[in-house]
Amino acid sequence: MTPDNNREPGTPLRRPPGISFAIGAGAVVLTLLSVVFGAGGGDEPAGSDSDQSMIAADASNIEVTTTTLPVRFSEMVPIETDRLSAISRSGDPRTVLWLPSERFARSYRLQNEPRLAWFDATGASIAFIDAQSTLFAGPVPGDAAAQVEAMVSSARFHPTEAAELAYTAPVAASGATGVYRVRVTPGILGGLESTLVATLPQHAHLLTWGNWGYAVSIDDRESPAVVILDPQGQAERFMPGVAYSAGGDAILVDATGEGFDEFETASALAPVAVVPESEVGIFDRMFEPIFLFPGADARSLNVTISPDGLQIAVTTFTSTGGTSVTIRDRSVDTLRTVRIDSVAHPIGFVADGTHLAMQDAESSELLFVNWRTGAHYRLSGLTGDFVAVDL
């Protein structure tokens, strides 16, 4: 096509009539081809019997896999709670948190492996002692817990007050043992200031404490004893015997007195000695018997006491490979026995004392025993050697 040299400047270039016709005709041809052959360009229109048979043939070659989602925590453990908190040791130290509505637990690795561990009364603070006897404490999950003290022999949270921790550790340059208190404020990761409450002989450790004061064990081989201190740390009374476990104001003591001497260490601390009849039993802070085990060997008893001291569980194992748990509630003076069809070891009561946490020796499942109803629930999906559990 030659240029239109006679066109005035600024006027549009006119398309020759032949080109418009060609474009229009081409569009019609393409439309007709689409109608005849279909959008896919096949031999038959889309949606024909041939296409349907081809789709069916392709579907027969599809492999369908069904995946079952893990069960939610609340479906395995129907307990009203905000979350499960658990502390594991043995090569994989971590804190596990599991919300009721979730299908998986969340894990937070701990910097040091806990040998003993505790949650406070609200479940918001954590404390643990590692293999080197160093005490760490801080807000849950504890992955950034601050070092509180070295060479700690024992520690316990207050049974009802949030974040209040007591422990026993050597008093610097004195050869004595001190009872200390510290507040583990959630959200504060360092700068924990401890207060010395009482000074004890070198071989002593904290058993339990509360608003009433402190119970400590004098671990003198020749004259072991349990000493009760008032809230200010002054010794009030002592009882000869070897202490094994405690919670609240309840203490398991072997008071048989075999091989004991004159109790010189304890008598130098406390003005009053309470000498019970030769029994193995659980005693309160006044050394009144709560539960006695006549003729029993205290070392073989598997006794677990709740943080407030109101629930006492005695675990035994049956000849058929099962477990029997007898729980006494001091507040209403009742006994309940729960039987489990496998070997399960107690970990401890949860902070509010409503359930006893246990771990299956073979499957590692956690079990929660409701001592009020006798029901127990199994929680699968977790592995580890758990030393503290809370709901």
Instruction: Provide the pLDDT for residue 264.
Output: 61
Partners of residue 238 on adjacent β-strands: 227, 273
- SS3 annotation, 263-314: CHHHHCCCCEECCCCCCEEEECCCCCEEEECCCCCHHHCCEEECCCCCEEEE
Task: Enumerate the H helices of 170-250 as residue ranges.
Answer: none
**Smallest Cα–Cα separation from 77: which of 374, 369, 389?**
369
Considering only CA atoms, give the Rg of the chain.
37
DSSP assignment of 350-375: -TTSSEEEEEETTT--EEEEETTT--
**Please, are residues 291 and 328 in contact by the beta-carbon 8 Å criterion?**
yes
What is the Cα–Cα distance from 259 to 277, expressed in whole angstroms?
Answer: 16
Sheet containing 250-254: order of strands: 242-247, 250-254, 280-283, 289-292
pTM > 0.85: yes or no = no
Record the tokens describing residue 32, joined without a space: 């007709």
Ordered mean pLDDT values, 10 residues apiece, the chain (391 residues): 46 43 39 38 44 52 70 90 91 91 93 94 94 94 90 97 96 92 70 89 93 95 90 94 95 78 64 80 95 91 96 95 94 88 96 94 94 92 93 92
**Please, are residues 77 and 377 in contact by the beta-carbon 8 Å criterion?**
yes
**Please, are residues 374 and 353 in contact by the beta-carbon 8 Å criterion?**
no
Q: Which fold has domain 73-296?
A: Methylamine Dehydrogenase; Chain H (2.130.10)
225-229/106-109 β-pairing: unpaired
**Domain assignments of the chain as residue spans, ordered by start:** 73-296
